[in-house]
Amino acid sequence: MSTEHDTNDVQEVGQSVIARYLRTIDGSPGVYRMLDAQSRVLYVGKAKNLKNRVSNYARGQAHAPHIYRVIAETASMMFLTTRTETEALLLEQNLIKQLKPKYNVLLRDDKSFPYIFISSEHDFPRLEKHRGAKTRKGRYYGPFASAGAVNRTLNTLQKVFLLRTCSDREVEAGNRPCLNYHMKRCAGPCGGKISSEDYMKLVREADDFLQGKTTKVQQQLAAQMEAASQEMEFERAASLRDRIRALTQVQSVQGINPQGVKEADVIALHVEGGQACVQVFFIRANQNWGNRDYYPRVTGSNSEAEIMQAFLGQFYSDREPPRQVILSHDVEDRELVTEALSEKAGRKVEAIIPQRGEKAELISGAARNARESLARKMSESATQLKLLKGIAEAFDMETPPKRIEVYDNSHIQGTNAVGGMIVAGEEGFLKSQYRKFNIKGEQLTPGDDFGMMKEVLSRRFKRLLKEDPDRETEMWPDLLLIDGGQGQVSAVHQIMKELGVEDIAMVGVAKGIDRDLGKEEFHRMGKGVKALRHNDPVLYFVQRMRDEAHRFAIGTHRAKRAKAMSKNPLDDIPGVGATRKRALLTHFGSAKAVSRANLADLKAVDGVSEGLAEKIYGFFHES
């Protein structure tokens, strides 16, 4: 049972304040939070024995420099006791991700990974990319490091195994083969070109490949090619030859495919200049399924073991660990970490630091990538900081902005209207923090850009004011860039004034008189129009941000429009799921025909009960 303790004593800070808590805690394992005078979380830690850990802080025993700063700023503490130290470790990393304390190592990128999914609910399973919760019945293969990595593999799998990517509706219709069939990238179930039995053979071959049985697959294809040649079926033999070549190609693109490592994450850390890079390679089914680099926030005095342990805890807090985690550096408590990972996975997880052999070579390659990635990142950051300093000088800001938000709207005559917000900062474009806003205002007239901007900004800053009224997080912008001239700036200023947020700098970016790129004019409240010289790097930086906001808004609008165009009225009928929808479309041919059907015809559809038939009929004939 977790317990929590707190005091309101914020008159003092430091060791004496911490010492008072020794009377209220015992030797239980748990998690502690150290807070400053404004009750902001400075640091989250876990302990096997809370009383001993707090006692160390109270005595000021040897600590890393950043811990001394934490102690000096601590005005209060909070505690949560747990049953075991493993439970404390898991809770600690969840709280760090949630609260983002000032002095903890923090993993800032927690984007989910894509998988390859093969459904088990269809006679002709579809090959597709999947991201998110694994709720559908079928087989998931991954994770892949990026959308690019999974797309490359999918592209080759289509060539090799000829599995479909077309919709269930096209397959159910079965009247004509899709374009991929004619391009020799699909076996043609949508045109009735292959039986379900023969198609399932292709599915099993794809499963074998994704499980690492590549030699078996190649041997089967080679045997089929030889048999086709002997039977004088040269066209089929040529097709099998092309599939073997495609299979060889995907293996070469994957690079290193370790023979002795079936399932592992290879994690290498490089620290330099007060910054850190962690490189993760995903090895599944003896294949390299890509790599991704991470740049956790560190204090500069964190040890490599501390950084690695914090990374592992946060990285696997919402992901399933593989059977083996291969590390470049040891962690502070490897036994505890492996126990926590095993508990998370529901099976044994092994963490190793190899010294020789194939695993050591994998770590060496990952470490080289981490070192090179950090060098590039530091170079880019130096350039970015220079540009932000230039922004401050150009627009009379006291300090360089750490966070710039750029807004844009997109619509066609007011339809499918969306607002887009992109974010730029010290690390360039922060794509994980981009936001889209579906315009909901029913009172807006079509094409009312001012009204749309008011809705977007109101929703954005009302939420900020609710979630972080004291501006303790890094989510508050220092500068707003608005696409438009003085009119737009005045309108945004009025909106922000109504919200009670008047201290954020804003700049309107408008094209010059002849609307040529490079002759932009900049508008600010209470100041004259400003222009930057044609070759000023700051001008190019502003243009890039504005263009990125426009690209994001346009892309979001197109996606919304495409979804609206493809929407089927059957989707809005309660009780009509994917299976019954497929049955209705197969029976009647189209949603329009379903809407015109009488009650008796609806009842005749396989899987549609009398009650559901009445519900469907009522949906289309309310009057």
Instruction: Provide the pairing of β-strand 263-272 with 324-327.
Output: parallel
Q: 4-99 falls under which CATH superfamily?
A: GIY-YIG endonuclease (3.40.1440.10)
Q: How far is CA 309 from CA 107, 166, 244, in A?
A: 11, 44, 43
Categorise residue 60: left if φ over 0, alpha if ψ from -120 to 50, beta otherwise: left
The pLDDT of residue 226? 79
Contact 426, 409 (CB under 8 A): no
Interval 375-398 mean pLDDT: 90
- Would the pLDDT of 101 be above 80? yes
Q: Mean pLDDT check: name the lowest of 8-12, 61-65, 274-278.
A: 8-12
- Would the pLDDT of 484 be above 70? yes
SS (H, E, C) 169-230: HHHHHCCCCCHHHHCCCCCCHHHCCCCHHHHHHHHHHHHHHHCCCHHHHHHHHHHHHHHHHH
**Which two structure tokens, joined as six digits, stand for 446?**
């079509």
Contact 21, 5 (CB under 8 A): yes
Higher pLDDT, 328 or 498: 328
- Across the chain, mean pLDDT equals 84
- 350-352, strands of its sheet edge to edge: 287-294, 275-284, 263-272, 324-327, 350-352
- Would the pLDDT of 300 be above 90? no
Q: How many CA atoms lie within 13 A of 420 on its CB side?
A: 24
Q: Residue 128 carries which side chain, given as an amino acid letter?
A: E
CA gap 337, 351 in Å, rounded: 8
- Which residue has tokens 């495409």? 562
Q: What angle do CA 383, 471, 92 make, to 5 degrees?
A: 85
CA gap 55, 271 in Å, rounded: 31
Q: Which pLDDT band, with edges at 50, 70 and 90, does 9 fall under?
A: very low
Same fold, 263-375 and 403-564: yes
CATH number, domain 263-375, options 3.40.50.1100, 3.30.420.340, 3.40.50.300, 2.40.160.20: 3.30.420.340
pTM: 0.69
Q: Which fold has domain 403-564?
A: Nucleotidyltransferase; domain 5 (3.30.420)
Q: Mean pLDDT check: name the lowest of 122-131, 171-180, 183-192.
A: 171-180
CA gap 171, 184 in Å, rounded: 17
The pLDDT of residue 3? 47
CA gap 222, 227 in Å, rounded: 9
Beta bridge partners of 457: none
Q: Kindly report, residue by residue over 197-206, the tens digit of the pLDDT.
A: 888 888 888 8
Q: How many CA atoms lie within 13 A of 571 on its CB side?
A: 6
* Percent of the chain topping pLDDT 70: 88
Contact 283, 264 (CB under 8 A): yes
- Would the pLDDT of 516 be above 60? no
Residue 457: CB partners within 8 Å, gap ≥ 6?
Answer: 407, 492, 495, 496, 499
Beta bridge partners of 271: 276
CA gap 110, 544 in Å, rounded: 26
Domain boundaries in the chain? 4-99, 115-253, 263-375, 403-564, 569-620
Cis peptide before 401 (omega within 30 of 0): no
The pLDDT of residue 446? 61
Q: Which pLDDT band, with edges at 50, 70 and 90, does 7 fall under?
A: very low
Largest CA distance in the chain: 92
Q: Mean pLDDT check: name the lowest of 10-14, 19-23, 389-393, 508-512.
A: 10-14
Nearest C-alpha neighbor of 375 from the set 237, 275, 306: 275
**Which two structure tokens, joined as six digits, stand for 236?**
């089929």
Q: Residue 251 carries which side chain, given as an amino acid letter?
A: Q
Q: Give residue 438's Cα distance to chain centre.
A: 20
- Would the pLDDT of 279 be above 60? yes
CA gap 510, 489 in Å, rounded: 10
Q: 569-620 falls under which CATH superfamily?
A: 5' to 3' exonuclease, C-terminal subdomain (1.10.150.20)
Q: Dihedral sign, CA of 250, 252, 254, 256?
A: positive
Using DSSP, state whether 297 is helix, strand or coil: strand
Q: Mean pLDDT check: name the lowest of 147-156, 317-326, 401-410, 454-463.
A: 147-156
Question: Which helix (DSSP H) or strand (DSSP E) does residue 483 occupy?
Answer: strand 479-483
Q: Kindly report, residue by residue over 555-613, the tens digit of the pLDDT.
A: 876 776 666 555 667 777 877 877 787 788 778 877 778 888 888 888 888 888 888 88
Q: How far is CA 155 from CA 140, 205, 249, 284, in A?
A: 17, 16, 11, 18
Phi, psi torsion values for 98, nearest 5 degrees? -75, -45
- Would the pLDDT of 393 be above 60? yes
The pLDDT of residue 371? 93
Q: What is the C-alpha radius of gyration for the chain, rounded to an integer number of angstroms?
A: 30
Angle between helices 234-253 and 214-230 (to 10 degrees): 160
- Which residue has tokens 């005595």? 59
The pLDDT of residue 589? 76
Q: Kindly report, residue by residue over 424-473, the tens digit of the pLDDT.
A: 998 888 888 898 888 776 666 666 677 788 888 888 899 888 888 888 77
- Which residue has tokens 């006692």? 55
The pLDDT of residue 81? 95
Q: Kindly report, residue by residue over 222-277, the tens digit of the pLDDT.
A: 777 878 777 777 776 776 676 677 666 655 544 556 778 889 999 999 999 889 99
